[in-house]
Structure 1
Amino acid sequence: MIRVAAAIIENRQGQLLIARRKKGKSQEGLWEFPGGKIEHKETAEECLKRELREEMNIEIEPYAYFGENDHWYGQTHIRLIAYRARFVSGEIRLVDHDENVWVNPNQLGEFTFAPADIKFVELLSR
């Protein structure tokens, strides 16, 4: 099983940051809550701070556990661990994504998400 963290990042207007996986990456063309693989002896919160710094050039502050979702992509089992986070600073520069957008929670259903993220989209859209 691969442990992966996802950040549900909110800005001051209450919008959420989502990003689209770029061509050539697994799940290309699908939207997701940004994050990445949790390294050995790393907490999900530490992972999210590191990944968002590396992949988007932004600083975030994870503040609340949101939930987990076990998902199988073929033979690969991932456990996606989501945390709510505040956007702190930085100007977004994309590495693993080709687009990002800030959306209101009720707009999430307008995007096609990676299967592992759909559980969180459904919870946030209520």
Structure 2
Amino acid sequence: MIEVAAAIIYNHEGRILIARRRQGKSQAGLWEFPGGKLEDGEDAPACLRRELMEEMGIAILPYAAFGVNEHNYDGFTIRLIAWEAEYLEGRITLSDHDAFRWVTAEELDGFAFAPADIPFVNRLLEPLR
């Protein structure tokens, strides 16, 4: 099983950062909450701080565990660990993604998300339904 962390990042306006996986990557064209694989001995908050700086050039502050979802993708399983985080600083640059958006929770329904992220999207939408 591969352990992956995902950040539900809020900016100062309360919008959430989502990113679309670029062509050539697994799940290309689908949207996700950005993050990455945990390294040996690394916890999810440390992983998220590292990955968001490496892949997007931004500093974040993970502050609360949001949930865990296990999903099987054609022969391998990921354990996706989501944390809520605050955007601190930096200008977004993309390496693993080809687009990003700052969206309200209400707007999440308008994007096709990677299957492992969908339970987190649904949880964010629950209070709005």
Range into which the TM-score falls when normalised by the shorter chain: over 0.9
Q: Do residues 109 (structure 1) and 109 (structure 2) align?
A: yes
C-alpha distance in structure 1 between counterparts of 2:125 and 2:110, whole Å:
11
Identity of aligned residues (%): 59
Task: Give 1:115 shift.
Answer: 0.2
Give the secondary-structure state (helix, strand or coil) at the position aligned to 2:83. Answer: strand
Residue 125 of structure 1 and its aligned partner are, at CA, apart by 1.1
Q: Tell me which residue corresponds to 1:9.
A: 9
Distance apart, 1:116 and its partner CA: 0.1
TM-score (structure 1 length as normaliser): 0.99
CA RMSD of aligned residues (A): 0.4
Q: CA deviation at 1:10?
A: 0.1
In the other structure, the counterpart of 2:74 is 74
CA offset at residue 60 of structure 1? 0.1
3-state SS in 1 of match to 2:116: helix
Corresponding residue for 2:54? 54
Rounded to whole Å, the distance in 1 between the matches of 2:11 and 2:86 is: 6
- Separation of aligned partners in 2, 1:40 and 1:27: 24
Distance 1:106 1:69 in 2: 22
Match of 2:38, as an amino acid? I
String of CA shifts for 1:45-99, please: whole Å, max 9, x gaps: 0000000000000000000000000000011110000000000000000000000
1:45 aligned residue: 45
Q: Which runs of 5+ in 1 are unaligned?
A: none
- Give the whole-Å Cα distance in 2 for the aligned partners of 1:125 and 1:60: 23
Paired positions, count: 126
2:20 is the counterpart of 1:20: yes
Partner SS for 1:108: helix
Unaligned runs of 5+ in 2: none
